[in-house]
Amino acid sequence: MTSPSPRRLTILIFSISIISSFIILNRWAITDIGVLSYGRIWQLYISYQDFGFIRRAFIGTLLSITGLNSSIENEYVFAIVAHHFSIIILSLIIIFYIINNKIENIPIIITIALSPALIIQSGYTTGSLDIFVLIIASINILLSRNPIIFSALIFIGVFTHELFIFTIPAQLIAYIMRTRGEISNSINSDLHMPLLSILLSVCIVHFLGTSDLSKEFVEATMAEKIPNAAGQHGLWSGYFEISRTASENSLGSISALLRDIGGGIAFLSIPLLYVCVVTIRLHFYSSKFTESMAMVISALFPLLTALVATDLYRWIGMSANMGLLLTLVMLTKEKTNEMKTTYLLLPFSLLAPFGSAQIDWPFPAHQLILERLF
């Protein structure tokens, strides 16, 4: 009897990951609040057409122009359906890269597909734009070689959510590695357009993306678009997110960060340990110190999001994801027999997914099961 080919094993492993993510995503079927467990859905409905240019409205504008977000009457049902498709798209991007580049190391593939931070956590971090940030970032890290496409995706990503800014260092490192083969100190002409796109998009969102519209107007407009969600959440309309400045977010988040770290470091320890092991493995995939440090720092960069926003497990997960995606890039560049860290990462898959908002809720699926049992 012949053993399955690496390609079939890859598809099988990712299928397990997708199904696991879907189970987490469809927690509405067993929770007391039903579809409201998805969280906020305003991001999928807010648009430039209603409020002019504002931050975090790109996806909602795209869905509104195409009419996709009006194809299903209940907004929560649409959000859940859209999230299923988004998880599939993210998975297919990674599967395509692995198969196309003939990556056949099954233990490493398991640590990517069954990571507690990547596909499976995407089934839990609903009510946010994280899945779209991940899709755009993964395309740039794994597939983009053309500077025009790479730069355009940066614009789209920054307009999607400011969190995307913290994934840009990893994207730049991957772009340089995939186009040049190594990291050098010089800024060649192929980086001029991406760097310009970063500067312009960040300035546009920073200076023009905050709304001064009244809360009454925003909520009245959004109530017409998402009547089932109106009043169901303290932040249901998106007014808070589109009206607060970066400095206001930073002040509140730093105090929340200090409070959370002071009272919940024990809860954070395992997810942070996971990020450390991911970046240690990434370090081994380059024999050059400068290159190795550039990759590690870029992978850890999303952790800085904690200075301007809460939800620590989201930022820990995003940092781990940058490390995992960069590892895939390095697998096609450097040959190494380093497998110790990979074997260390395998048990973490049993802890999937990592949490989202509550500092004392690091492993939501496990904690929910234990809560129901005991």
Tokens 């990434």 belong to residue:
282
CB distance 311 to 104 below 8 Å: no
Q: Mapping DSSP to helix (H, G, I), strand (E, B) and coil, where does residue 312 land?
A: helix
204 within 8 A of 12, measured Cβ to Cβ: no
Give residue-wise pLDDT tens across range 30-75: 888 999 999 999 999 999 999 999 999 999 999 999 999 999 999 9
- Residue type for 64, please? S
- Give the model's pLDDT for residue 253: 56
CA 52 from chain centre, in angstroms, equals 26
Where b means 16+ CB within 10 Å and e means fewer, 140-154 reads bbbbbeebeebbbbb
> What residues contact residue 255 under an 8 Å CB cut-off, 6+ apart?
none
DSSP 8-state symbol, 69: G
DSSP 101: T
Residues 84/21, Cβ–Cβ less than 8 Å: no
What is the rounded CA–CA span in Å between residue 214 and residue 28? Answer: 33
Tokens of 100: 């196309």
pTM of the model: 0.93
Residue 109's pLDDT is what? Answer: 96
pLDDT of 186? 53
Task: Give the residue among 139, 130, 166, 158 at the shortest CA–CA distance from 353.
Answer: 130
Low-confidence ranges of the chain (pLDDT < 50): 251
Alpha-carbon span 283 to 263, nearest angstrom: 31
Q: 219-230 burial by CB neighbour count: b if 16+ within 10 A, else e?
A: eebbeebbeebb
Write phi, then psi, for 212 (nearest 5 degrees).
Answer: -110, 20
